[in-house]
């Protein structure tokens, strides 16, 4: 039973916290006995579990009621900065211009196209607002138009569990085709405009089967079933549209198969078989496969090989390995290539002209920024589209003329209400880690702020899977900056910010570098008087939530308030349950606890395992009932155990969205409200109430 006191009111008028019952579960592995009192919270179908979660939401509502005014103020500020009726920058594909638009008051985008020119009549391909009627959640997965432009293949998730239902629409008539292949993880068109290759998931949400489907047919052909649970299956198509690729990959190994896209009834041929530790990606241009490979190249190199004989002995290197520079990707065009590189946590684009053999760097105006390739579906073009933003520069879309070397700004997201980037300062700092490594920190704050140790500061981190963190713009974050909050982004190990070695030094049996790096960043910001421990807030989501949970156990004295978003905090129990989504493939990221050495190490940092009877800072835990990546019960178990273990009187609240998934609310207005709530809680704990 749940403690009935959860409905009681204290003398202060604030509801008493819900206390989850303890239901002892004992497990033994490697002669180590583990006790879990809250395992029962995993049963989503148990009304008592739902009752407990709803009680947590009621308690959170009562505990944060004083912040309602600030939350509403921040929400209004966010809306006051965005152009609610707006249009994306159109991109050309085939004979059409494709774009999305938003309308004031509507939660979702409308997908559209125009034939020939933007002066032509608009065709609505998908109106997500209409589709979302009657649903609490809506996510768009696939959006793929056939080569002839007549058919749209798309998929929708209406729960947040990332299960996408497949559909095909005839764009000429608006009619839905009868082809129903159920839930798909990914799919692509062949060149004949009627053959579809698609991927299905297993019970643990691992993409593992590849099928061939012909429109109008009801006998789909199974082409591959991946038996190795470390591997996932995917599909892709070359930039010149001539080849289809079927990929089987783990987090450290890739295997590629290929098939001419105009021969969809043919058999995929092995291009490069799996070889443990060999990671690669493949594209095609003018009779050559372009292979980005880590063979003999930790941070990757680029080779070409004739498509007529693609054996490795025929590889020709065109971009060598550089220890300090990671080759993140390659965009191919008929006459040019764009090398996407990262050095010192910053992206750069190098334009290669195949006719002259020359390389040209695209210039960026700020020292700390974020950039990435945009929509570039056209192969025969001299224009490369890219996105650019920074902590102070709103999202911008540019077209770069690869012949003239000129960038043209097509659109910069309007920030209404008098926003001026000159009012803010963005800079780079470096913290010295425990082992001497220098960890970059990207920082932004309002101009004129003095570094005297009194400033509130929000430090964000992630540090996993080799994902890089970039200094991007946030229209909501302006509400923090304008209130004097310094915002900092820690480029810690486990991420790919400084290349593959940086990634490897923050995973498996070196995972704790991620946490000590983050602590080093926090200590540095305090020593340099950006802030103090009494004014320091921290935030991270998913694997970043694991980070926050771990550092709270290690250094609770260093922080005033923490936000753990959809946090992966029950590491040991989750990694021991191979029926859960992601578990087996992620043995290569976190370790396999069935191996004693990896279990012992994992247990030393698992946030749920290491909760102790000591003082912790104020905490906000947010999650969603239908999260398929990090199950809701990790947050629920963590909150329940923390509440009875911690010795302080600081607030601990959990807010669970009962109708969403890993990314939270799907509608844009609902998402802004969630951001406003999170910011209001953090600000309130930092003593900012207006």
Residue 100 lies in a domain: no
Structural domains in the chain (count): 3
662 is catalytic: yes
Q: Cα separation of 447 and 444, whole Å?
A: 9
Q: Cα separation of 545 and 1, whole Å?
A: 29
Q: For 360-398, give the secondary structure using H, E and C.
A: EECCCCCCCCEEEECCCCCCCCCEEEEEEECCCCCCEEE
**396, 472, 662, 666: which one is catalytic?**
662
Q: In this structure, are 396 and 292 located in the same domain?
A: no
401, pLDDT greater than 90:
yes
Q: In this structure, are 261 and 328 located in the same domain?
A: no
Are 488 and 458 within 8 A, CB to CB? yes
281-316 burial string, b = 16+ CB within 10 Å, else e? bbbbbeebbbbbbbbebebbbbbbbebeebeeeebe
3-state helix, strand, coil in the chain (%, to 5): 20, 35, 45
Cα(first)–Cα(last) distance of the chain, in Å? 40
Q: In this structure, are 302 and 349 located in the same domain?
A: no
Hey, what are 686's tokens?
């930092």
Task: State the average pLDDT over residues 543-553.
Answer: 98
Hey, what are 215's tokens?
């429109």
Are 207 and 584 within 8 A, CB to CB? no
Residue 161 lies in a domain: yes
542 is catalytic: yes
Q: In this structure, are 525 and 608 located in the same domain?
A: yes
Residue 401 lies in a domain: yes
Task: State the average pLDDT over residues 30-46.
Answer: 97
Are 157 and 661 within 8 A, CB to CB? yes
Nearest to 642 by CA among 620, 627, 623, 674: 620
Are 331 and 347 within 8 A, CB to CB? no
CATH number at residue 277: 2.130.10.120
Hey, what are 575's tokens?
């990694």
Classified as helix, coil or strand, 167 is strand
Sign of CA dihedral 382, 234, 108, 467: negative
Half-sphere exposure of 567 (CA within 13 A, CB side): 32
Strand (E) or helix (H) holding 546: helix 543-554
Q: In this structure, are 167 and 303 located in the same domain?
A: yes
Q: What is the pLDDT of residues 60-91, one digit of tens each?
A: 999 999 999 999 999 999 999 999 999 999 99
CATH number at residue 44: 3.40.50.1820
Phi, psi of 283 (to 5 degrees): -140, 180
Q: Which of 282, 314, 346 is the last residue of a domain?
A: 314
The Cα-based distances of 132 to 127, 162, 204, 267, 592 in angstroms read: 9, 15, 27, 39, 40
Classified as helix, coil or strand, 353 is strand
In 215-319, which ranges are E strands?
A: 221-225, 232-237, 243-249, 254-260, 269-272, 280-285, 288-293, 301-306, 316-319
Mean pLDDT (the chain) is: 96
Q: Cα separation of 632 and 623, whole Å?
A: 6
Q: Which residue bears the tokens 């995929």?
A: 268
Q: Cα separation of 352 and 581, whole Å?
A: 41
Share of the chain above pLDDT 70, in %: 98
Classified as helix, coil or strand, 657 is strand
Q: Model-level pTM? A: 0.95
440, pLDDT greater than 70:
yes
Task: State the average pLDDT over residues 441-458.
Answer: 97
Q: Which of 388, 414, 440 is the last residue of a domain?
A: 414
Q: Which residue bears the tokens 């129990």?
A: 573
**281, 426, 542, 624: which one is catalytic?**
542
Classified as helix, coil or strand, 329 is strand
Phi, psi of 401 (to 5 degrees): -80, 110
7 is catalytic: no
DSSP labels, 466-499: T--------TTTHHHHTTT-EEEEE--BTBSTT-
Share of the chain above pLDDT 90, in %: 97
Q: In this structure, are 377 and 352 located in the same domain?
A: yes
Contacts of residue 154, Cβ cutoff 8 Å, sequence gap at least 6: 126, 140, 141, 142, 143, 144, 166, 167, 168, 169
13, pLDDT greater than 80:
no
Nearest to 666 by CA among 199, 176, 109, 234: 109
Q: In this structure, are 376 and 506 located in the same domain?
A: no
Contacts of residue 246, Cβ cutoff 8 Å, sequence gap at least 6: 197, 210, 223, 224, 233, 234, 235, 256, 257, 258, 259, 268
Q: In this structure, are 308 and 377 located in the same domain?
A: no
Hey, what are 242's tokens?
């001539």
Q: In this structure, are 445 and 498 located in the same domain?
A: yes
**370, 627, 635, 666: which one is catalytic?**
627
Q: Cα separation of 293 and 295, whole Å?
A: 6
For helices 596-605 and 512-527, the axis angle rounded to 10 degrees is: 30
pLDDT at 14: 54
Classified as helix, coil or strand, 313 is helix
Q: In this structure, are 647 and 670 located in the same domain?
A: yes
Alpha-carbon Rg for the chain in angstroms: 26
Tell me the pLDDT band of 5, cut-offs 50, 70 and 90: very low
Residue 598 lies in a domain: yes
Residue 631 lies in a domain: yes
Task: State the average pLDDT over residues 541-558.
Answer: 98
The Cα-based distances of 203 to 206, 208, 579, 582 in angstroms read: 7, 10, 7, 11
The DSSP bridge partners found for residue 237 are: 244
Nearest to 415 by CA among 81, 103, 672: 81
Nearest to 142 by CA among 95, 178, 92, 184: 184
Look up the domain containing 382 and give its range: 324-414
Q: In this structure, are 468 and 549 located in the same domain?
A: yes
The DSSP bridge partners found for residue 270 are: 257
Task: State the average pLDDT over residues 122-137.
Answer: 97
Fill in the DSSP letter of residue 686.
T
527, pLDDT greater than 70:
yes
4, pLDDT greater than 50:
no
pLDDT at 3: 35
Q: In this structure, are 344 and 303 located in the same domain?
A: no
Residue 117 lies in a domain: no
Q: Cα separation of 86 and 531, whole Å?
A: 38
Phi, psi of 416 (to 5 degrees): -80, 175
Half-sphere exposure of 662 (CA within 13 A, CB side): 16
Q: Which of 291, 314, 337 is the last residue of a domain?
A: 314
H-assigned helices in 558-667? 571-575, 587-590, 596-605, 632-645
Are 187 and 153 within 8 A, CB to CB? yes
Q: Cα separation of 394 and 388, whole Å?
A: 8
Residue 105 lies in a domain: no
Residue 102 lies in a domain: no
């Amino acid at each position: 039973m749940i403690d009935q006191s959860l409905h009681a009111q204290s003398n202060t008028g604030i509801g008493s916290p819900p206390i989850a019952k303890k239901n002892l579960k004992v497990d033994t592995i490697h002669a180590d006995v583990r006790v879990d009192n809250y395992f029962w919270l995993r049963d989503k179908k148990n009304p008592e579990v739902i009752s407990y979660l709803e009680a947590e939401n009621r308690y959170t509502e009562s505990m944060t009621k004083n912040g309602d005014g600030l939350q509403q103020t921040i929400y209004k500020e966010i809306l006051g900065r965005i152009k609610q009726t707006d249009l994306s920058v159109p991109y050309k594909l085939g004979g059409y211009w494709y774009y999305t638009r938003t309308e004031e008051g509507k939660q979702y985008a409308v997908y559209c196209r125009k034939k020939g020119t933007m002066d032509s009549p608009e065709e609505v391909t998908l109106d997500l607002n209409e589709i979302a009627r009657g649903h609490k959640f809506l996510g768009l997965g696939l959006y793929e138009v056939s080569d002839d432009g007549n058919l749209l293949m798309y998929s929708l998730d209406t729960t947040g569990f990332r299960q996408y239902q497949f559909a095909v629409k005839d764009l000429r008539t608006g009619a839905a085709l009868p082809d129903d292949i159920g839930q798909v993880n990914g799919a692509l068109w062949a060149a004949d405009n009627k053959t579809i290759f698609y991927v299905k998931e297993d019970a643990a949400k691992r993409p593992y089967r590849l099928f061939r489907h012909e429109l109008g047919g009801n006998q789909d052909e199974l082409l591959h079933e991946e038996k190795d649970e470390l591997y996932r299956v995917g599909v892709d198509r070359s930039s010149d549209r001539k080849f289809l690729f079927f990929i089987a990959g783990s987090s450290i190994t890739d295997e590629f198969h290929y098939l001419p896209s105009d021969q969809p009834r043919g058999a995929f041929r092995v291009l490069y078989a799996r070889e443990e530790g060999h990671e690669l990606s493949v594209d095609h241009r003018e009779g050559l496969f372009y292979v980005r490979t880590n063979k003999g190249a930790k941070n990757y190199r680029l080779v070409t090989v004739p498509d007529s004989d693609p054996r490795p002995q025929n590889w020709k290197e065109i971009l060598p390995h550089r220890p300090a520079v990671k080759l993140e990707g390659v965009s191919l065009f008929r006459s040019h290539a764009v090398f996407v590189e990262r050095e010192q946590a910053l992206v750069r684009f190098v334009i290669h002209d195949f006719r002259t053999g020359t390389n040209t760097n695209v210039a960026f105006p700020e020292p700390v920024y974020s950039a990435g390739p945009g929509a570039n579906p056209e192969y025969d073009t001299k224009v490369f589209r890219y996105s650019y933003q920074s902590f102070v520069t709103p999202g911008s879309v540019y077209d770069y003329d690869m012949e003239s070397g000129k960038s043209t700004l097509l659109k910069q997201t309007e920030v209404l209400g008098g926003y001026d980037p000159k009012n803010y300062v963005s800079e780079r700092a470096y913290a010295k880690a425990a082992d001497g490594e220098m960890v970059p920190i990207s920082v932004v704050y309002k101009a004129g702020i003095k570094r005297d140790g009194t400033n509130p500061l929000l430090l964000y981190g992630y540090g996993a899977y080799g994902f890089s963190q970039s200094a991007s713009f946030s229209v909501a974050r302006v509400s923090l900056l304008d209130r004097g909050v310094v915002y900092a982004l820690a480029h810690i190990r486990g991420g790919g910010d400084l290349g593959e070695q940086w990634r490897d030094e923050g995973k498996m049996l070196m995972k704790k570098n991620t946490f000590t790096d983050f602590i080093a960043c926090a200590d540095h910001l305090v020593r340099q008087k950006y802030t103090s421990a009494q004014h320091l807030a921290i935030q991270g989501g998913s694997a970043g939530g694991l980070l926050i949970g771990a550092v709270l156990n290690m250094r609770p004295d260093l922080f005033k308030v923490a936000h753990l978003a959809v946090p992966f905090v029950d590491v040991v129990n989750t990694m021991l349950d191979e029926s859960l989504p992601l578990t087996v493939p992620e043995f290569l990221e976190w370790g396999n606890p069935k191996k004693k050495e990896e279990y012992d190490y994992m247990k030393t940092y698992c946030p749920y395992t290491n909760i102790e009877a000591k003082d912790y800072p104020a905490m906000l835990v947010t999650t969603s009932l239908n999260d398929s990546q990090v199950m809701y019960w990790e947050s629920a178990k963590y909150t329940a155990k923390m509440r009875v273990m911690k010795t302080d009187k600081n607030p601990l609240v959990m807010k669970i969205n009962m109708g969403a998934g890993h990314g939270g609310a799907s509608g844009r207005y609902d998402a802004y409200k969630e951001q406003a709530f999170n910011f209001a809680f953090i600000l309130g704990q930092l003593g900012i109430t207006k």
